Structures are given as C-alpha cells and as structure tokens.
Structure 1
Amino acid sequence: MGRVLVPGCGTGYDVVAMACPGRYVVGLDISEEAIKKAKQMSSSLPNADDFTFIKADFFSWRPTDLFDLIFDYTFFCAILPEMRSAWAQQIQNFLKPDGELVTLMFPMDDHAGGPPFKVSIEDYEEVLHPIGFKAVSIVDNELAIEARKGREKLGRWKRGVGHSSL
C-alpha cells in the first residue's frame, strides 16, 4: 500500500488503525494539542514504527515524499469553503500520479454554519474535476455511526477515471 497521509488527523485514531507493515501512515494536524495527544496515545503501540505524527499547516507543509493514498476523514468540511480549491491543489501536490484520494463526506444535509461546513458531491467535483480527479465510486457510508447515517458518503477519487458507481 505504500505511504498514506491523513490530513487533519486530530488525536490520530485513523492513523493508528491504518498503519501496518508495508503501509506507513503520516498524521498531519495544525493543533499542537492534538498531535501531543496522538503521540501520547500511540507511542507504545506494537505498530508504532508504521506511523508518525507531524504538527504542520496542511496548506504550507511540504512532504519529503509523495503519497500513494490520502484519507480525508472530514478534513474538507472543517476548512472554510473558500479554502477548498487550495485543499484540492495540495491533494494534487501530495499524491503520486497513480495515487488515490479517499474522502469521508460529511455533513451531507442542510446543516448551517460550521465547522463542520455542509458538503455535497458537487462541492468535491467543483474543486477536484479541474485538476483531473474523477470519482471511482461514491457510496453511502454503511459503517456510519447512528447519528450520521444517511449524512455521510465515502468517495474514492483518482486522476483521469470515470464514475464506476454512485
């Protein structure tokens, strides 16, 4: 699987869950407190060599290597809507040409205000299509917690492909 990036990783649960031999996961967050908690929570885990946490601003950070996969677990909805084009540009900058972007899209309803700011498939398409990304699949998140059922979708995006299912 290679290298994985989890932007806006918070306390790092997704980073730890995804990390394994052959899959090195980088958790990135601007919050010093979140990164501190992530490191405290995970430092003694058996897979601790398979991940790292970095305190940095997603929009100015420059990784040393590109990623095979970027997992956006509600980071897109946490940023101001006017920053979404810059988010897409960074995704393009960080991902290998044959890499994949996985997005957990939430909240997909008439939610007002934010963060989290409401999102739609069209919001993702608006910023990803111009840089060559197309959805491989977009499905309801069957593993959503009860309070989010029907308000989350899981999207897989790659450069230069068409929809295989919606």
Structure 2
Amino acid sequence: MRLGEPVRWLASRTRPRRAMGSSAPVRAAGGTRDPGENPAVGRLRELFTGDAADGWEKSWEFGVTPWDLGKPTPVIEHLARSGTLPKGRALVPGCGMGYDVVALASPERFVVGLDISDMAVKKAKQWSSSLPNADYFTFLAEDFFKWIPSEQFDLIFDYTFFCALDPSLRVAWAETVNRLLKPDGELLTLIYLISDQEGGPPYNNTVADYQKVLEPLGLKSVLMEDNELAIKPRKGCEKIGRWKRCAHQSSL
C-alpha cells in the first residue's frame, strides 16, 4: 500500500457532516469568526455545566458534534499524499471519529487516535476496524494529560483540540506535547482562528496563544501559513503551523 493510498477509499466510508460554525458564518476582524453563532455550538456548550470529560461524553452520546466533518480534513489528505510529514509514530489527540487518524496511517506511519470519550472511541473503532490499513492505527480512550505511552511520537497533529480546551489548560497542553514528542519530533497544528466571543468550547484562539505556551519549551514554528484547503465555512479562518523542538529539551 502506498503512502496516502487510504485516502481514496476512505471517502467511500465517510459521510457529510455540518462543520463547526457552518451555519450563517459571522466573521470578525482579521478573518476570525464566532462559532457561537452556530446553534449546534450553542447546544454543545449547554452540555458543559460541570466536568469537561462528562461534557464530551454527552456530546457523543447525544450526537452534538458540530466540529465533526464526517471525513478527513482536506489538508491532512494532501499532506499524507505529499510525503512531507514525519514517518514512524503519530498521535492525534481529541481524535473523535478518527478520520484523520485513518488518513495518516500507512505502512510507514503507525497512528494512535486518543480521545477522552469512550463513546467516540467506540464509534471510531466500529467504522474503521475492517479498513485495508487497519493494522497501522489504533484508538484509545485516555486522558491526554495523564496518559503515558510506551514510546514517544515523531508527529503529533492537533486540530480542534487546543481550542476545545479551557484556556487554563493550555500550559499543561504544551507541556504534554513536549513530553510526548521525540527529540526531533514535529507538532502539526491546524489553528482555527476565533476571537471576540464569550466562553466555549471552542474558545478564543490565535497564533499568539500557541506561541505563548510552546516557545518557552523550545518548540519553534518552522512554518505558519494560511490553510488554502480549509473547508468553505472556515476559509480565511485557519492557519497551518508546523513546530519543531530542540533536541536538548526534556522528554519522557
């Protein structure tokens, strides 16, 4: 199986979904937007009245998942085909249904999809277990911040995970990324720009928010550009960031 080959047949196994913020887009200054204008996001926020883990479990139980595209993220399909991403071991935290996990998985790259929701992991396993590249990925129901894997990762991909976390957890997010990456590992972030809104999830989110918590740990941006392959509702509202850390930084 060639690198990126899963993407072609994956399309036949997925279904259209409404993306977060896809109804009545409202753009703020600088190309950002307020997802709270989407009624589905409003329903999601109503589930977060206490424990965050319970809120995510309820969102999957009740089918309130406005961020779920129902297919792989287009730019991930492109990067998987391009062969420019690190091979080896990859991690996708907050993987949900796992479409990006499957798109990234190949004989050259084993991918771990992590989600705190048991229901999300159950659904991901149900639809993907018989796929041709199923030997190259796995799904685990774990807390990203507490999980200790047997090995570190060459690549970590974050999309709609950082922005879904309460901002008080962002330093811990960066520290966990730093701990899980190999010395020469890469963090790939698809940054959904959000500003001038109240509450979350998703929470206000800028490139500077990532820089603030990653750079003190030695993770430096080697690429930051507009996501030209963003889905229509998010056009002009996403940045692709690729981050590398210094080999002398702390690890597991």
TM-score scaled by length of structure 2: 0.62
Aligned to 1:163: none
Partner amino acid, structure 2, of 1:40: Q
Structure 1 CA distance, aligned partners of 2:171 and 2:148? 17
Extract unaligned runs of 5+ from structure 1.
161-166
Partner amino acid, structure 2, of 1:77: C
| Counterpart check, 1:123 vs 2:170 | no
| Counterpart check, 1:75 vs 2:158 | no
Shift of 1:47: 0.1
Select which of 100, 116, 123 maps to 1:14.
Answer: 100
Shift of 1:118: 1.7
| Counterpart check, 1:4 vs 2:90 | yes
Aligned to 1:87: 173
Structure 2 CA distance, aligned partners of 1:113 and 1:145? 24
Partner amino acid, structure 2, of 1:47: N
Structure 2 CA distance, aligned partners of 1:159 and 1:32? 32
Extract unaligned runs of 5+ from structure 2.
1-86, 247-252
Shift of 1:127: 0.2
Supply the RMSD in Å over aligned alpha carbons.
Answer: 1.2
Cα shift readout 1:88-123 (whole Å, capped 9, x = no counterpart): 000000000000000011134434321111211110
Structure 1 CA distance, aligned partners of 2:136 and 2:159? 19
Aligned to 1:98: 184
Identity percentage over the alignment?
63
TM-score scaled by length of structure 1: 0.94
Aligned to 2:224: 138
Question: SS at the partner of 1:36?
Answer: helix
Aligned to 2:83: none
The 4+ residue runs of structure 1 with deviation greater than 4 A are none
Q: Which has the higher helix share?
A: 2
Structure 2 CA distance, aligned partners of 1:13 and 1:101? 18
Select which of 113, 116, 122 maps to 2:199.
Answer: 113
Partner amino acid, structure 2, of 1:112: E
Q: Is the CA contact 1:74–1:103 (under 8 Å) kept in the aligned structure 2?
A: no
Shift of 1:126: 0.5
Cα shift readout 1:119-145 (whole Å, capped 9, x = no counterpart): 111100100011001100111111111
Q: Is the CA contact 2:164–2:203 (under 8 Å) kept in the aligned structure 1?
A: yes
Larger radius of gyration: 2
Partner amino acid, structure 2, of 1:130: P
Partner amino acid, structure 1, of 2:92: V
| Counterpart check, 1:39 vs 2:125 | yes
Structure 1 CA distance, aligned partners of 2:194 and 2:231? 14
Aligned to 1:62: 148
Structure 1 CA distance, aligned partners of 2:243 and 2:166? 21
